[in-house]
Amino acid sequence: MSSEHDPGSAYVGPPDSEAMPRFAGLTTFARLPRAEDVSHVDVGVLGVPFDAGVTYRPGARFGPSAVREASRLLQGYNQFQGVSPFKVQQVADLGDVNANPFNIEDALKSIEGRATDLANDGTKLVTIGGDHTIALPLLRAVAKKHGPVALLHFDAHLDTWDTYFGQPYTHGTPFRRAHEEGLLSRDHLTHVGIRANLHQQADLANDASLGFGIISTMDVADRGVAEIVGGLRERIGDVPVYVSIDIDVLDPAHAPGTGTPEAGGLTSREMIQMLRGIADLNIVGADVVEVSPSYDWAQLTGLAASTLIYELISMYANKAQHNA
């Protein structure tokens, strides 16, 4: 699908909520058009309904559909990023990857193949998980185009362990595999929101040996969002950056619907502030993962996830608007 666009034609966005109520219309993300309904896609929302890599509570395979349903409330103008994300770029829902639920390595190949094809077509992605295992094939696809990338990882957990039960591909291992495969730019890696207990003290040394810095939720509480954002911007610089958000970075009060909840997390407001604070970085890929709707209540988790995806789409739009 070509990314070329006729500047004289209008981008196709969601229906006007004053003409069609938000509980009606397509069940796509933000009621956006499907990819097959537009001539090109600049930014695509891709679902990956896969959770064979979880180690505790399953259910993230239902995350993409739940996040799409919760996204109906989204509107066309992001006043805080100062951009209309659906008017300066063609955004569409790309549907779901057909990921094998019984064979992790086969599923990873399917995800990587789909993401690579889209990247070759010029489409930038925000991916809805699914569990965090899916970040590895998405990083493989991004690195094919951009080389080793910076990683900004929002999570309660490090996800740099070697194996679980002897298995190398799980939701707790994607960034160790990414390091081993040369997908990451070593001097530009940061975890934000870390607070979970570890298996052993050596986990910290092992993580540091890969090049990661750690910002805990206590650091955010002590230093404030503005100072944290300043440090992130300095560490990442102008290197192409992949943003990976495990929804459990939020406190369970804000996101109960996830597989491995941890007390003491970020508020949804703090998380949104951080994304807005890095809006002008060179983002080349993003995911929001680990939404498990069977543990959600009143769509709190789905709403948080859909809002973060909207902010990520707006980040792409800011770059497109700047380059126009």
pLDDT tens, position by position, 91-107: 999 999 999 999 999 99
Q: What is the pLDDT of residue 7?
A: 44
pLDDT confidence band for 79 (50 / 70 / 90): very high
Residue with tokens 């944290």: 228
Asked whether residue 5 carries a pLDDT value surpassing 70, the answer given is no
Reference 68, options 15, 115, 18, 31; nearest CA is 31
In degrees and rounded to multiples of 5, residue 56 shows phi and psi of -135, -100
Q: What is the residue-wise DSSP string for 253-284?
A: TT---BSS--SS-B-HHHHHHHHHHTTTS-EE
Distances from the Cα of 270 to the Cα of 220, 265, 274, angstroms: 9, 10, 6
Please determine, for residue 191, whether its predicted confidence score (pLDDT) is greater than 90.
Answer: yes
Q: Is residue 1 pLDDT above 80, yes or no?
A: no
Residue range 241-281, pLDDT digits in tens: 999 999 999 999 999 999 999 999 999 999 999 999 999 99
Q: Would you say 217 and 256 are in contact if contact means Cβ atoms under 8 Å apart?
A: no
pLDDT for res 140 = 98
Question: Residue 11: enclosing H or E segment and its boundaries?
Answer: none
Tell whether the model's pLDDT for residue 322 goes beyond 80: no
Arithmetic mean of pLDDT, 48-74: 97
Q: Is the predicted pLDDT of residue 3 greater than 50, yes or no?
A: no
Planar angle of CA 46, 51, 54, nearest 5 degrees: 135
Residue 184 in this model has a pLDDT that exceeds 60: yes
pTM of the model: 0.95
Q: What is the dihedral angle through the alpha carbons of 74, 76, 77, 78, rounded to the nearest 10 degrees? A: 40
pLDDT of residue 302: 98
Q: What angle do CA 47, 261, 179 make, to 5 degrees?
A: 60
Instruction: Report pLDDT for 4.
Output: 45
Q: Do the Cβ atoms of 101 and 61 come closer than 8 Å?
A: yes
What digits encode the pLDDT tens for the residues 7-53? 445 899 999 888 898 999 899 999 999 999 999 999 999 999 999 99
Cβ atoms < 10 Å from Cβ of 140: 20
60: left (phi over 0), alpha (psi -120 to 50) or beta: alpha
3-class DSSP state for residue 317? helix
pLDDT in tens, 205-229: 999 999 999 999 999 999 999 999 9
The CA distance from 35 to 38, in Å, is: 6
* Percent over 70 (pLDDT), the chain: 97
Nearest to 291 by CA among 113, 29, 98: 29
C-alpha–C-alpha distance, residues 267 and 304, integer Å: 10
Q: Pairing state of beta strands 212-216 and 149-154?
A: unpaired
For the chain, how big is the Rg over CA atoms in Å?
Answer: 18
295 contacts 60 by C-beta, under 8 angstroms: no
Q: Which fold has domain 29-323?
A: Arginase; Chain A (3.40.800)
State pLDDT tens for residues 132-154: 999 999 999 999 999 999 999 99
Q: Round to whole Å and give the CA distance between 13 and 315.
A: 17
- Residue 324 — very low, low, confident or very high, per pLDDT cuts 50/70/90? low
Q: What is d(CA 301, CA 277) in angstroms, rounded to the nearest whole number?
A: 22
Q: One-letter amino acid identity for 293?
A: P
